[in-house]
Structure 1
């Protein structure tokens, strides 16, 4: 980013304290990240990366697992080096079979968290009156 763009960004962030400068780079980064659903429980990050590497440079292939059982949840993410490669992978891989399962491929949606990550304490249920 050149110095004029940085100065303009500083001016915007100083005027609006709720604006996050990470939002500018966030959309650019997410545009190359793909969601892959319908994965077989036997698909590994290596096989996922190899399957998508036919369409461009795979930066990362990540399969989401359950914390308790450490078993795949049946979906993951593949990050590409360029948007053209990501678009090509979507066009070619959507509806294809991978490890015996038909997969769904699309752009990943941003992970927007509400609050500061702390769980909401709800307490015990309200007592009901039996009258």
Structure 2
């Protein structure tokens, strides 16, 4: 209840500010989500160290992970970057979205939290 009140107060402050145009990215960050970014469009040759290097100019990167295809033994083309501070993640989201990284355009978005499969999908039952 208190979290909902806090979120609605932040939203009201954003909307009623002198600058009425509020980007969706700012609204997402002001909801208090984690500081993990989802990055897609990563070149197959890009390493995790290169990803850290590219995003570290916005703040301290705690972790960068490129998801690998085990069969082909190469990148799947997307990954996650976790920042220590949410403000740094916001800057990286706004500045890196649509920019070139190792010759490819990368798209940056907030990482979604994982849903529990047991809660969202009903279990199939065999006939009696």
Same fold per superposition (TM over 0.5)? yes
Q: Deviations over 1:94-130 (max 9, x none)?
A: 00000000000011011224139xxx99xxxxxxxxx
Q: Deviations over 1:37-75 (max 9, x none)?
A: 000000100000000000000000000011222210000
Is residue 72 of structure 1 aligned with residue 79 of structure 2? no
TM-score (norm 2): 0.65
Cross-structure match for 1:13? none
Larger Rg, first or second structure (1 or 2): 1
Cross-structure match for 1:32? 35
Question: Does the residue aligned with 1:36 lie in a helix, a strand or coil?
Answer: strand
Distance in 2 (CA, whole Å) between partners of 1:67 and 1:115 is 26
Q: CA RMSD in A?
A: 2.1
Cross-structure match for 1:92? 95
Cross-structure match for 1:43? 46
Distance in 2 (CA, whole Å) between partners of 1:60 and 1:41 is 19
List structure 1 runs of 4+ shifted beyond 3 angstroms.
none
Cross-structure match for 1:115? 118
Query: How far apart are 1:77 and its partner, in Å?
Result: 0.3
Unaligned runs of 5+ in 2: 1-30
TM-score (norm 1): 0.64
Distance in 1 (CA, whole Å) between partners of 2:103 and 2:40 is 13
